[in-house]
């Protein structure tokens, strides 16, 4: 694929390595460097590319010439990814999205920046997706559904039609939402959980049949509301 844009990847973890592979072999972006916070700068190169301190990245790789992608997962209920998403924008970077050529995304789907959509995702007509979302492989996102920002949707998740998902949620493998349902913000939906009624902010849903844990995600992870 013809490379027309230059990209910096934030991170040097397994997901950053995966992001490098996908952007390199299935996108218009050429990855030219990695960046991490100075306190986590443990290596000088990755895939023979420089790893530089995030605190000075804009001086070496100016945002007028480079895009950024925040290649972080769901740690601390997505808060780490949110932090560096915001800080990269403050530095002036455009946040690049990746959409696998082996996914099915209907023509009128709206997708924000810094999203990463793996192979075998099916995203049906009239879906709206916000910024900074990860869709691991094999999910189904039903028609007319709205997904906010900073979510992590793991593999083989089913979101039926006319659903609404808020911000900074995690949806575990094989979890399912019925039609016309909503999930608030900061929720953790466990593996194989079947959502059959609206889920309030901060809920930790687990079990079959599912139930809300006595502790909210705010208490469990020590996070503040967005």
123-135 mean pLDDT: 98
Residue 218: helix, strand or coil by DSSP? helix
Span 45-71, pLDDT tens digits: 999 999 999 999 999 999 999 999 999
d(CA 185, CA 97): 22
- Domains of the chain are 5-95 (3.40.50.20), 98-212 (2.160.10.10)
Tens-place pLDDT, residues 78-113: 999 999 999 999 999 999 999 999 999 999 999 999
> Are residues 52 and 34 in contact, defined by beta-carbon separation less than 8 angstroms?
yes
With pLDDT > 90 as the criterion, what percentage of the chain qualifies? 94
Burial of 110 (0-12, 13-18, 19+ CB in 10 A): exposed
Percentage, residues of the chain above pLDDT 70: 99
* Burial tier of 78 (Cβ tally within 10 Å: 0-12, 13-18, 19+): buried
Q: DSSP 3-state assignment of 25?
A: helix
Q: What is the pTM of this model?
A: 0.93
- Residue 30 burial (10 A CB sphere; 0-12, 13-18, 19+): middle
Question: Taking 80 as the threshold, does the pLDDT of residue 197 lie above it?
Answer: yes
Residue 224's Cβ-side half-sphere holds a number of Cα atoms within 13 Å equal to 2
């Amino acid at each position: 694929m013809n490379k027309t844009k230059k990209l910096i990847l934030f991170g040097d973890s397994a997901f950053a390595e995966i992001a490098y592979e996908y952007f390199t072999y299935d996108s218009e972006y050429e990855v030219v460097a990695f960046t991490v916070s100075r306190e986590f700068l443990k290596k000088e190169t990755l895939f023979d590319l420089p790893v530089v301190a995030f605190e000075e990245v804009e001086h070496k790789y100016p945002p007028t010439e480079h895009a950024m992608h925040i290649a972080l997962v769901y740690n601390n209920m997505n808060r780490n990814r949110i932090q560096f998403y915001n800080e990269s924008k403050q530095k002036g970077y455009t946040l690049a999205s990746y959409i696998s050529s082996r996914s099915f995304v209907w023509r009128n789907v709206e997708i924000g920046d810094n999203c990463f959509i793996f192979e075998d995702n099916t995203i049906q007509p009239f879906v709206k997706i916000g910024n900074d979302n990860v869709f691991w492989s094999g999910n189904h996102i039903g028609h007319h559904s709205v997904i906010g920002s900073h979510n992590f949707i793991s593999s083989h998740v089913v979101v039926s039609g006319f659903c609404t998902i808020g911000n900074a949620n995690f949806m575990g493998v094989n979890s399912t939402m019925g039609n016309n349902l909503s999930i608030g913000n900061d929720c953790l939906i466990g593996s194989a959980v079947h959502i059959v009624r609206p889920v309030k902010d901060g809920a930790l849903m687990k079990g079959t049949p599912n139930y809300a844990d006595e502790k909210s995600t705010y208490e469990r992870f020590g996070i503040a509301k967005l």
